[in-house]
Structure 1
Amino acid sequence: MIDMLSDTVTQPTAAMRQAMFDAEVGDACYGEDPTVTRLEALAAEMLGKEDAALVCSGTQGNLTALLAHCPRGHEVILGDRTDLYDFEAGSVSVVGGLVLHPVATQSDGTLALADLRAAIRDRSDPQCAPAGVLVLENPHCQMGGRVLPAEYVRKVRSLADEHGLPIHLDGARLFNAAVATGRRAAELAREADSVQFCLSKGLAAPFGSMVCGGRAFIDRVKRYRKLLGGGLRQGGIMASAGIVALSAMVDRLAEDHRRAARLAQLLREVPGVRLTPPVIETNMIFFRVERDDLSTADFLALLSRRGVRMGTLRDGVVRAVVHYMIGDEDIEAAAAAVRSILSAGARG
């Protein structure tokens, strides 16, 4: 199976497996695992922040960060098409007592400054939940892996400062954005007070995400990590794979981007396929199959029969995600499978 469902389907590399076997470990819950400590220091350095915490997942990372930023009853202002809003089980509200305040997500993944400003309620009004934190996503998954413009992020920073609000960056695939723009991850994270990024997506580690920020902030994150059941014992076994991910898997993301661009090029040539968005910046391709007699579910089933797995995040839009286990020949085969379905008719 050519598996393009997500970059979370990657399996650990041989180097990761060896590192996990050889890992020096201790009790991470007591702060005594040297490999976890090394990973946290490496992540903080690469993101240009004072400190970092290894957490179990991106969902746990975003949740602990938002809990650390603001107390119960405050609003989290974020986009209505962000992963945090759509795909994290409402954890921020269920666990944290925080109110999600969505604003319209623009086609490039930005949130209009006017919409953000309008969403920040007057704190003197006792009828309204006060704003607690602004959330950006970079790159923006549901808008096609789009990278937020640097000037836009600076403007959001100015707006946040004007209202005394922190910015949390959901940077699940932040290193894809860094490679796509030729900038360091620390540059992309500079305007944010906190950042979450995943080790288990394009970087191919089997476990974990990192939360990065100021030292006092990370102390609070670690307290919430424990509260949520994320206190690890011999966590170095998993952290060692994360170290390999950050040391060896970042630069090669450019290969995924190149292959994604090639797949997009091939799909543009298939009658009945429309890329949405047409711009490919990272490792994701979104497209619609514009045939009245072929539903998205039926198309994906036919594709699977031909040995290619893709998925969908919303009705009518197919997503293909390129990762290190997808080679050049897989790209050609995937495009050929799409073409064969659309040329064969609805029954495939």
Structure 2
Amino acid sequence: MSNSNNTTYIVDLRSDTVTKPTKAMKHAMVNSALGDDVYGEDPTVNALESKVATLLGKQAALFVPSGTMANLIAVMVHCNKRGSEAFAGHLSHIYKYEQGGASHLGGVLLSTLQNKPDGTFEIAELKKRLRGSDLHDPISSMVAIENTHNVCGGKVLPQDWVDELGEFCTDHGLALHMDGARLLDAAAYSGCPAARLVRPCHSVSICFSKGLSAPVGSALAGSYHFIEQARRMRKMLGGGMRQAGVVAAAAVVALDEVAPQLHYSHKRARVLATTIQGLFLPTFSVDVSGLHTNIVLVRVAANSPLLAEVVLQRLAQVCLAETQGDCKTPNDEGVIVKAVCFDSKTIRFTLHHDINDEDLWLAIMKIIYVFKELDAANPFNINNK
């Protein structure tokens, strides 16, 4: 949700993790039935796990503190011999943003495959890379994919490709894990039930605090045997919680209340992307045709000296001209827009449940103002206008 203080109105588009719990979530948390989850006695956690298993078409599920832990547990269960090999895309969350936990904590070699812009990779390349027949090799044991794919701009993986990869993994004795932190965004975009999207996968994780407004928590789903082993790993990693129904209650509400509304964030993301594209500024570009869900990636021209970090710094500033010009807010206050850099030339704006139409309008006005200002001041554009 956007915040205001005495001088500025803040629209936070850094991530869909900055949301606050809804009123219904807070009510459910206060009134949740509780027990000791390590003993399997928390009724709210049990209800959530059953709900997730049904949603994903798997036999069982496990509530865990975070998506990073869920993915790590999946790797450690599927690669239960130290020195095993797991494959993931070079732009995947497991490889880029989880501190190499699979190697550090699980003794698993993470090998990367080149992600394409749509989040996929070449299955033929995976086939060439498989190892284990030679005693010098690690044993290739699993493959991890990500849906939606964060760094590729919230892309939904092509289902034909997921099905083909699943068949390949089954034929070659590999486990297939899906990092589905934003899986329900993929379901909302594709119109396919989540269970269908993950049918070829042996395990899948989903996150309740990315886009679903819950304060904390993820879930891991798979077969009865997989979850039995995952429960042991969770305990070893310190993820065994006691009266965890306090937070699981919010996750239950998230699935019922917020998940059906994800398409609104997708629509707002498209409005933002289309507006930026319609500015026709040489310095900034956005691939509207490739926009699937709630993540908008803005590219700064490669041959421009401008860096994404500078753009973010300017979006976080308010100058006098803004508050006196056409871009002023109804309260004559300046607007700050928060976003993140993926690299030196890429800015990510993420729409979420706490952003309403007024927030979007204020963010667009600010972005238009700043982008035009930076484009006009960019020496790169002097000879291109």
Q: Please, what TM-score do these two structures have when normalized by structure 1?
A: 0.97
Confirm or deny that 1:287 pairs with 2:291: no
> How far, CA to CA, are the matches of 1:224 and 1:344 in structure 2?
52
Match in the other structure for 2:140: 131
> How far, CA to CA, are the matches of 2:87 and 2:288 in structure 1?
25
Shift of the 345–213 alpha-carbon distance from structure 1 to 2, 3 Å rule, reads closer
* Deviation (angstroms), 1:308: 0.6
**Which residue, out of 225, 233, 236, partners 1:224?**
233
**Which residue, out of 311, 314, 321, partners 1:299?**
311
Q: Deviations over 1:286-344 (max 9, x none)?
A: 01133835321111011112411011122210000000111122222222212211322
Match in the other structure for 1:262: 271
> How far, CA to CA, are the matches of 2:48 and 2:172 in structure 1?
34
> How far, CA to CA, are the matches of 2:371 and 2:272 in structure 1?
16
Secondary structure, aligned partner of 2:306: coil
**Which residue, out of 142, 151, 174, partners 2:151?**
142
Secondary structure, aligned partner of 1:197: strand
Match in the other structure for 2:251: 242
Q: Deviations over 1:84-125 (max 9, x none)?
A: 10000111100000000101001110011111111211x220
Asked if 2 retains the 8 angstrom alpha-carbon contact of 1:312 and 1:319, the reply is yes
Secondary structure, aligned partner of 1:7: coil
Match in the other structure for 2:130: 120
Q: Deviations over 1:50-80 (max 9, x none)?
A: 0000001000000011111122111011100
Asked if 2 retains the 8 angstrom alpha-carbon contact of 1:63 and 1:91, the reply is yes
Secondary structure, aligned partner of 2:17: helix
Confirm or deny that 1:103 pairs with 2:113: yes
1:1-348 → structure 2 map (5 Å cutoff) = 1-71=10-80, 72-121=82-131, 123-270=132-279, 271=281, 272-276=283-287, 278-290=289-301, 292-305=304-317, 306-345=335-374
Aligned letter for 1:79?
G
Q: Which sections of structure 1, spanning at least 5 residues, go unmatched?
A: none
Match in the other structure for 2:324: none
Q: Deviations over 1:35-64 (max 9, x none)?
A: 000000000010000000000100000001
Asked if 2 retains the 8 angstrom alpha-carbon contact of 1:5 and 1:310, the reply is yes
* Deviation (angstroms), 1:175: 0.2
> How far, CA to CA, are the matches of 2:298 and 2:17 in structure 1?
20
> How far, CA to CA, are the matches of 1:313 and 1:7 in structure 2?
15
> How far, CA to CA, are the matches of 1:167 and 1:148 in structure 2?
14
State the percentage of identical aligned residues.
Answer: 38
> How far, CA to CA, are the matches of 1:97 and 1:285 in structure 2?
36
RMSD: 1.4
Asked if 2 retains the 8 angstrom alpha-carbon contact of 1:101 and 1:119, the reply is no
* Deviation (angstroms), 1:195: 0.1
Asked if 1 retains the 8 angstrom alpha-carbon contact of 2:308 and 2:343, the reply is no
Asked if 1 retains the 8 angstrom alpha-carbon contact of 2:277 and 2:288, the reply is no
Q: Aligned residues, how many?
A: 347
Aligned letter for 1:61?
A
Once the two structures are overlaid, the 10-residue window that deviates more, 2-11 or 263-272, is 263-272
> How far, CA to CA, are the matches of 1:342 and 1:133 in structure 2?
44
Once the two structures are overlaid, the 10-residue window that deviates more, 112-121 or 181-190, is 112-121
Shift of the 17–323 alpha-carbon distance from structure 1 to 2, 3 Å rule, reads same
Q: Which has the larger Rg?
A: 2
Q: Which sections of structure 2, spanning at least 5 residues, go unmatched?
A: 1-9, 318-334, 379-385
Secondary structure, aligned partner of 2:152: coil
Q: Deviations over 1:218-243 (max 9, x none)?
A: 01101000000001011000000000
Q: Please, what TM-score do these two structures have when normalized by structure 2?
A: 0.88
Asked if 1 retains the 8 angstrom alpha-carbon contact of 2:37 and 2:45, the reply is yes
